[in-house]
């Protein structure tokens, strides 16, 4: 599944143009994302993460270079509709994405606009809500739900459009820890069980631990990429970029500096417990 290309970004530069100045948000950036991958993109505000995400479903078009989604050039207008069906997008604030007065209406909104037949819409709404664990809330008003529940409804609305890829632009930024756990559980399930390609932008480093690949952006470019262990063991380099690492990895780093034989690439509490027990 992961040997097929989902998104190809080739030497892309993007400038925000204004009367006063041109701001380069992405500079000569190249990135290939394979079908079925779980990619996490991190970087501080202004690094270019969100601008990159919006190129992946043709919300923005490159100033220079080419972006292809399943071989379709985003700058070719005849492909725009197909690209946005293939690559759905979930944003930071769930309230900005919910349009229905009850949950099932909201989830049905996308398929209705695609002209899907009523019988299939009903099936899509049911299956999408089940996938995100929200089927019990089908007839509830969205404004009565928690932040995490609203975000899962927003994700269900995207799933109902049957995308191959979901791009999530800091979907947990406005949520409490329980809401973040709910959304991350949903994202991982969609990737592992439904084989949906996930591109997840976040500033919570713990959310990157289970990714196939972590992309670190700084000053409009990719500066580090690799498996989570490869990326997060570079503690000092990440700190120089103004970024954190998962708390357990930070602890491993501190213990190692104190002369305790703990590997630098520990990512989870269970791993840390096992490594400490092995010291005896």
Is it the case that residue 1 has pLDDT exceeding 80?
no
Give the model's pLDDT for residue 68: 97
In a domain, 272, yes or no: no
In a domain, 273, yes or no: no
CB-CB neighbours of 79 under 10 Å: 18
Mean pLDDT along residues 119-141:
91
Is it the case that residue 3 has pLDDT exceeding 80?
no
Q: Domain span at residue 150?
A: 5-245
In a domain, 55, yes or no: yes
pLDDT (tens digit, 9 = 90+) per residue, 216-267?
Answer: 999 999 999 999 999 999 999 999 998 988 888 988 888 888 888 888 888 8
Beta strands 64-69 and 72-73, pairing class: antiparallel
In a domain, 178, yes or no: yes
* Region of residue 62 (left: phi > 0; alpha: psi -120 to 50; beta: else): beta
How confident is the prediction for the chain on average, in pLDDT?
91
Is it the case that residue 167 has pLDDT exceeding 70?
yes
- Residues 6 or more apart in contact with residue 69 via CB below 8 angstroms: 6, 7, 56, 57, 58, 79, 83, 86, 87, 165
pLDDT (tens digit, 9 = 90+) per residue, 65-111?
Answer: 999 999 999 999 999 999 998 999 998 888 888 888 999 999 999 88
In a domain, 261, yes or no: no
Q: Per the confidence metrics, is the pTM higher than 0.85?
A: yes
C-alpha neighbours within 13 Å on the C-beta side of residue 54 = 15
Helix axes 177-192, 118-131, angle to 10 degrees: 120
Report the C-alpha gap between 200 and 118 in whole angstroms: 31
CB-CB neighbours of 237 under 10 Å: 13
In a domain, 271, yes or no: no
In a domain, 188, yes or no: yes
Question: How buried is residue 26: exposed, middle or buried, by Cβ count under 10 Å (0-12/13-18/19+)?
Answer: buried
Count of the separate structural domains present in the chain? 1
CB burial readout 208-234, b (16+ within 10 A) else e: bbbbbbbbbbbebebebeeebeebbbb
CATH number of the domain enclosing 26: 3.40.50.300
| Separation of first and last alpha carbons in the chain | 43
In a domain, 31, yes or no: yes
């Amino acid at each position: 599944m992961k040997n097929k290309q989902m998104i190809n970004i080739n030497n892309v530069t993007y400038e925000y143009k204004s009367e006063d100045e041109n701001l380069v948000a992405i500079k000569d950036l190249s990135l290939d994302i394979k079908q079925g991958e779980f990619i996490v993109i991190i970087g501080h505000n202004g690094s270019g993460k969100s601008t990159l995400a919006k190129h992946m479903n043709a919300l923005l078009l490159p100033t220079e270079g080419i972006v292809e989604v399943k071989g379709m050039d985003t700058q070719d207008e005849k492909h725009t509709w197909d690209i946005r069906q293939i690559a759905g997008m979930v944003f930071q604030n769930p309230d900005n994405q919910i349009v229905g007065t009850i949950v099932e209406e909201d989830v049905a909104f996308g398929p209705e606009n695609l002209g899907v037949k009523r019988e299939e819409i009903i099936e899509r709404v049911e299956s999408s809500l089940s996938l995100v664990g929200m089927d019990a809330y089908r007839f509830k008003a969205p404004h009565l739900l928690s932040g995490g529940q609203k975000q899962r409804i927003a994700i269900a609305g995207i799933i109902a459009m049957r995308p191959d890829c979901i791009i999530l632009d800091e979907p947990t930024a406005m949520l409490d820890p329980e809401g973040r756990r709910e959304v991350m559980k949903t994202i991982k399930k969609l990737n592992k069980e439904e084989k949906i390609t996930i591109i997840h932008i976040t500033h919570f480093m713990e959310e990157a631990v289970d990714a196939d690949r972590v992309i670190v952006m700084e000053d409009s470019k990719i500066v580090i990429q690799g498996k989570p262990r490869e990326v997060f063991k570079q503690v000092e380099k990440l700190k120089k970029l103004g970024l954190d690492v998962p708390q357990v990895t930070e602890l491993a780093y501190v213990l190692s500096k104190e002369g305790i034989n703990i590997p630098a690439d520990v990512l989870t509490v269970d791993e840390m417990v096992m490594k400490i027990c092995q010291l005896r």
